[in-house]
Amino acid sequence: MVLSNTERKIIEDSIRDIKDFPKPGIVFKDITTLLNNKEAYGVLMNHLYQRYKEYNLDYIAGIDARGFIFGAALAQMLGLGFVPIRKKGKLPYTTISEKYSLEYGIDEVEVHIDAFGNIPNAKVLMIDDLIATGGTANAAATLINQTGATCVEACFIIGLGFLDGQTKLKETTEVYSLIEVN
Ligand code: AMP
């Protein structure tokens, strides 16, 4: 299921560019203007539903924090459970974690050890709003696979094509980005 040009334009036009946020030189892709636009949010979620209803998934996993918004809504539409992949220190039960490099320093994501526990070899779709360097998504996909589940695809609303995040992530899982920004 591919996005039509009309659908792509409605979604693309609803995303706002904020220059120099959070620091000079970054163009921040603001998806709050997609979320408060009922037409654009509806077109997006309907497309995701149409695409993923054929995948025979067991869970949707969303990346902290904007991946929760799309992931939780999609999980409900598909009749599936939702699993949050969180930044370090937020999950209360036993976790497994994966570190990744930032421009300056190291960050870490975590998931509960039993998050996909009630379905053996669970098929998981991972979702986030945007992939840039791919550090976060690579760590999250690795974590899903370490639990014994399988990350069958990573889905992003926006892919920054001028960074090689998507190419790197394709070594671990399938990658689908609705809108490519070059
Ligand atoms: P990365 O690990 O470099 O792929 O960064 C991905 C994470 O950072 C995602 O969770 C995004 O929400 C956020 N992010 C990175 N760059 C941007 C950007 N230009 N606009 C909005 N969010 C961004």
Over residues 55-97, the pLDDT tens digits come to: 999 999 999 999 999 999 999 999 999 999 999 999 999 999 9
Give residue 129 CA to ligand 1 midpoint distance, Å. Answer: 8
Report which residue type is found at 126.
M
Query: For the whole model, what pTM was predicted?
Result: 0.97
Q: Which atom of ligand 1 is nearest to the CA of 27?
A: 19
- 103 is annotated as an active-site residue: yes
Predicted confidence band of residue 2 (pLDDT cuts 50, 70, 90): confident
CATH C-level class of 55-181: alpha beta
Helices within the chain (DSSP H only):
5-14, 32-35, 38-52, 66-78, 135-146, 165-169
